[in-house]
Structure 1
Amino acid sequence: METRPDPTVVTPPETQPPRPAPVPPEPSAVHAYGPLLARAETATAQGDYEQALALLERAQRIDPDSAEVYLHLARTYAAQGQTDRSRATAERGMLYCRGDRECAALRALIR
């Protein structure tokens, strides 16, 4: 048997749960990985390629579509003498480059 609510009984309106405070916007990826790129450049200049690559891989996890990160990776591989890996990384970076300077720098590493 189905029961229907009594129309003479007034039920209080449901209260809405409080809305959570708005989440602050995340800083742009460039701000997040910028310091990593700077530290990687320093490590590369000192010949510490393993440290540089570790920092650049962290930067790439933050923004996997950054041509700038690919450019730094390719330059580090080139400094290490890994020309094939440098070229392959630069080619991959070409998929994401947006500026003429960035694209030209990646193209230079592909040749």
Structure 2
Amino acid sequence: MQINLLLKRGFVLGLALVLTGCAIYSMPGSERAPIETRPAPGETVPDTPEPVATPVPEPYPPAPQPAATDPGVTSAAASLLEKASAASAQGDYEQALALLERAQRIDPNSAEIYLQLARVYAAQGQVEKARDTASRGTLYCRDERECNALRALAR
């Protein structure tokens, strides 16, 4: 009987603590509402300052110009493309793929990167992967040379 009474009291006390904790908890980032105060009788209230207009932000600066080698490749990706071409010419296809995948993360809409990837896959003998990559690259080609080269590898 005494245990039952202690359990009930413990439950009620625990519930009261939980509810108290919930009442004082505020969400992170939320601010409390301001408290309005009234001036004492006979006290004058200074005029509130007028809100200051926030300046209009300047437009974003123009995007960096692409590399001169290909109008569709950013300069960072163009550097990786050059290194990948050199690695591929030396037969280091794994290094070429690593560089091209990195370039693709930088510039995912470059048909030139897709073209180089497809060529490396084809050189490795991964014909199906080369076709899929070239086919995907046709979505991003900007000139006839790229489109024709990608279509040829996609067949």
TM-score, normalisation: structure 2: 0.59
1:58 lines up with 2:108 in the alignment = no
Q: 1:27 aligns with which of 64, 73, 91?
A: 64
Give the Cα–Cα distance (whole angstroms) in 2 for the partners of residues 36 and 27 of structure 1.
17
* Aligned residue pairs, count: 109
CA distance 1:82–1:13, change in 2 (3 Å): same
Q: Summarize the alignment of residues 89-100 of structure 1 with structure 2, pairs less than 5 Å apart.
A: 89-100=133-144
| 1:15-60 Cα distance to aligned partner (Å, 9 max, x none) | 6789999976553561120000000000000111010000000011
> 1:1-111 residue pairs with structure 2 within 5 A?
9-13=46-50, 27-28=64-65, 30-111=74-155
Normalised to the residue count of structure 1, the TM-score between the two structures is: 0.79
Change (3 A) 1:7 1:31: farther
Larger Rg: 2
Higher-RCO chain (CA-CA 8 Å, sequence separation at least 6) = 1
| Residue identity matched to 1:11 | T
Structure with the largest fraction of helix: 1
Q: Percent identity?
A: 63
Deviation at 1:96, TM superposition (A): 1.1
Q: Take 2:131 and 2:48, find their aligned partners in 1: how far apart are those partners?
A: 71
Q: Once superposed, what is the RMSD of the aligned Cα atoms?
A: 3.1
Stretches of structure 1 that go unaligned for 5 or more consecutive residues are: none
